């Protein structure tokens, strides 16, 4: 999340503050308000903003983000997604996994995209509001061109055909499904309209009667998914959105799947990159995240030479001179100083809404925040890079909340850091187990502050 010292939070609304604090209390990355925590990312801002502006102007961008576990990849992509949303992009974050969302099945990736599609006005899934806004825009354009009420349906059909002409070359059923959806709405058949829209979103097992009504057949396949993505981008643009920001998170999970599935997934990724660079998807900003082992190891990108060539980036120089315009960028992760700085930022953000702000700042002073950071890092084998999530969870949920609610609570006297295996991620648990190998329990670590 942060790689520099503390940045004191500016004046923010109670709702934004509460969203951030509540997520940290749960040990999660906040869904919004990330600019309040984003210290140390200014080095990327100019290049990434320029890329977002290029996509908003009809270009397309592919970006690969690399970082160790705990370096803030999810935070970074959500922070960038917020910047995209402020430019009126639609946003979708997709977790790649062997069982839920295998990358080699692009029809499943497309389905997850539509399920997680969000805009500045609508939470997931925003597919229906986007499609409805598109038809409204077509009607407005037809009326502006002089169409009468009687002529409106025919003129809207003409505009639909014209706007989706390029899409129909690759996926004619996309336009057909949109017509079926509109016809079902006109007939007040909500059940059929919802089913057709589900099919348009890539959902399988849609009722055969709804598909027949819309004039489409079967389920979406791997190649059809690319055409449907192209169609979705057209609909987004014509309904007033400047682009689509998509994150494929945790792509490094490909290293753990069967070799045949891994090879298919790597080739699908190569295909996606080529399609983005070819200009087929104007308005798309596509991001993947992965660990260095995924990009550099023989079980990841290096397994497919054409993909390795497309992602090749020089990281042999000092990280200070990394090129943020490159196809692949790295997040340097945390050190002790930056972890403490982030803790101070959260402490000050929390204090602004506390019953007695000065008490929070005095009791949880800078020295205590530093001590807690050292202790949490120590519980994870001194691996500060994977400590931020747990550190912030402990700071908010077990220290700041108690100081705020109990006037006589002093964490130096009344709190002892306890880390149990059930609250850790797999990576954190492995590190904690290694540290406590000589302890009576590998899942229970007590540290005195």
pLDDT range class, residue 29, cuts 50, 70, 90 = confident
Please state, rounded to an integer, the average pLDDT across all residues of the chain: 89
For residue 106, CA distances in Å to 94, 128, 221, 280 come to 12, 21, 8, 16
Q: Distance (Å, rounded) from C-alpha 297 to C-alpha 63?
A: 19
- In the prediction, which pLDDT does 448 show? 44
Of residues 103 and 418, more confidence is placed in 103
Percent of residues, the chain, with pLDDT higher than 90: 73
pLDDT at 437 over 60: no
3 state SS of 256: helix
Among the listed ranges 225-239, 329-343, 374-388, which one has the minimum average pLDDT value?
374-388
pLDDT range class, residue 196, cuts 50, 70, 90 = very high
pLDDT range class, residue 2, cuts 50, 70, 90 = very low
Predicted TM-score (pTM) of the model is 0.84
- In the prediction, which pLDDT does 384 show? 61
Q: Distance (Å, rounded) from C-alpha 448 to C-alpha 374?
A: 11
pLDDT at 427 over 90: no
Q: Name which of 8, 101, 86 is nearest 348 in CA terms.
A: 8
Express each pLDDT in 7-25 by its tens digit.
444 567 888 899 999 999 9
- In the prediction, which pLDDT does 432 show? 54
Express each pLDDT in 301-328 by its tens digit.
999 999 999 999 999 999 889 999 999 9
Of residues 447 and 158, more confidence is placed in 158
Q: Beta partners for 125? A: none
- In the prediction, which pLDDT does 281 show? 97
**DSSP E strand boundaries for 67-157:** 89-95
Q: Distance (Å, rounded) from C-alpha 411 to C-alpha 366?
A: 13
pLDDT range class, residue 5, cuts 50, 70, 90 = very low
Question: How much is the average pLDDT of 247-266?
Answer: 94
Among the listed ranges 115-124, 232-241, 330-339, 373-382, which one has the minimum average pLDDT value?
373-382
pLDDT range class, residue 383, cuts 50, 70, 90 = low
Express each pLDDT in 98-109 by its tens digit.
989 999 999 999
Q: Name which of 62, 78, 86, 63 is nearest 1 in CA terms.
A: 78
pLDDT range class, residue 34, cuts 50, 70, 90 = confident
- In the prediction, which pLDDT does 321 show? 93
């Amino acid at each position: 999340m942060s790689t520099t010292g503390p940045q004191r939070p500016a004046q923010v609304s109670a709702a934004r503050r509460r969203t951030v604090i509540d997520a940290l209390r749960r040990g999660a990355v906040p869904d919004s308000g990330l600019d309040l925590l984003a210290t140390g990312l200014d080095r990327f801002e100019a290049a990434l903003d320029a890329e977002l502006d290029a996509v908003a102007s009809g270009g397309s961008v592919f970006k690969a983000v690399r970082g160790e576990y705990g370096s803030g990849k999810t935070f970074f992509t959500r922070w960038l997604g917020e910047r995209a949303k402020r430019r009126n992009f639609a946003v979708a974050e997709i977790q790649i996994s062997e069982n839920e969302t295998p990358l080699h099945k692009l029809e499943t990736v497309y389905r997850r995209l539509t399920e997680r599609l969000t805009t500045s006005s609508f939470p997931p899934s925003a597919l229906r509001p986007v499609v409805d806004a598109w038809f409204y825009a077509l009607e407005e354009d037809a009326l502006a061109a002089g169409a009468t009420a009687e002529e409106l349906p025919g003129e809207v059909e003409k505009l639909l055909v014209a706007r989706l002409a390029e899409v129909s070359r690759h996926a004619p059923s996309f336009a057909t499904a949109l017509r079926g959806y509109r016809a079902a709405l006109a007939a007040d058949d909500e059940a059929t309209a919802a089913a057709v829209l589900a099919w348009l979103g890539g959902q399988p097992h849609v009722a055969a009667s709804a598909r027949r009504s819309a004039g489409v057949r079967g389920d979406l396949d791997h190649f059809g998914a690319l055409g449907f993505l192209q169609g979705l981008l057209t609909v987004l643009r014509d309904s007033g959105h400047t682009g689509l920001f998509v994150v494929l998170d945790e792509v490094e999970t490909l290293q753990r799947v069967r070799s045949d599935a891994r090879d298919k997934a790597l080739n699908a990724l190569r295909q996606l990159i080529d399609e983005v660079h070819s200009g087929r998807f104007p308005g798309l900003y596509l991001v993947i995240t992965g660990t260095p082992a995924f990009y550099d190891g023989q079980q990841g990108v290096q397994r497919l030479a054409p993909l390795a060539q497309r992602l090749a980036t020089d990281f042999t120089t000092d990280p200070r001179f990394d090129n943020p315009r490159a196809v692949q960028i790295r997040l340097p992760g945390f050190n002790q100083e930056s972890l403490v700085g982030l803790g101070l930022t959260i402490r000050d953000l929390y204090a602004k809404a506390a019953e007695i702000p000065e008490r929070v700042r005095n009791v949880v002073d800078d020295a205590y925040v530093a001590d807690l950071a050292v202790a949490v890092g120590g519980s994870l084998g001194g691996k500060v890079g994977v400590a931020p999530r747990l550190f912030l969870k402990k700071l908010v949920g077990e220290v700041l909340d108690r100081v705020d609610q109990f006037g006589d609570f002093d964490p130096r006297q009344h709190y002892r850091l306890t880390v149990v295996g059930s609250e850790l991620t797999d990576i954190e648990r492995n590190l904690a187990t290694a540290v406590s190998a000589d302890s009576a329990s590998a899942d229970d670590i007590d540290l005195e502050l």
